[in-house]
Amino acid sequence: MHQETILYPLLAMALLTGWVGVRMLQLRFRAVRRDGLSPAYFELNRGARPPEYLLRIEQHYQNLLESPLLFYVGLVLIYVTGQADAIALALGWLYVAARLAHLVVHVGAMGLTWRRRTFLTSIVLLYALWVRLFVQLAAS
């Protein structure tokens, strides 16, 4: 397996985050045009009550800029230390899949139980990736 392959889940996660950012921008315009949200609201994100769909996508976008940071760093470390293998790649893709499922559940308003399950699944996968990297580096 080529070491560069471990970067594919990283790129997929970056594309997912970018897509959510673009979608959030679209929904902000929609909230102003169709739902009457004042553009002044976006100066400090205060002074009005935005529609729930906008709050969900904004919260999800913020979430994609938090714990996935550890994912990006972990994959880069796996790459630069030459520890990429099929298990690391599988953990990477499973993490991306879990984050995609979390997006569908969160933005689709499918309920707190499913949201918690998909989020916790992604966290378990993330820490499995880190623990495995630590063990590999300690053993080498």
Q: Do 78 and 133 contact (CB within 8 A), yes or no?
A: yes
Q: Which of 26, 42, 46 has its CA nearest to residue 34? A: 26
Note the pLDDT tens digit of each residue in 87-130: 999 999 999 999 999 999 998 878 889 999 999 999 999 999 99
Q: Whose CA is closest to 132, among 99, 96, 94, 84?
A: 84
Read off the pLDDT band of 82 (50, 70, 90). Answer: very high
What ranges do the domains of the chain cover?
Answer: 3-139
pLDDT at 117: 95
pLDDT given at position 89: 98
* Confidence tier at 48 by pLDDT (50, 70, 90): confident
Tell me how far the alpha carbon of residue 83 is from its chain's centroid: 23
Amino acid type, 120: L
> What would the pLDDT profile of 2-45 be if each residue is shown by its tens digit?
999 999 999 999 999 999 999 999 999 999 999 989 888 888 77
Specify the CATH number for 3-139; select among 1.20.120.550, 3.40.50.2300, 2.30.42.10, 3.40.50.10330.
1.20.120.550
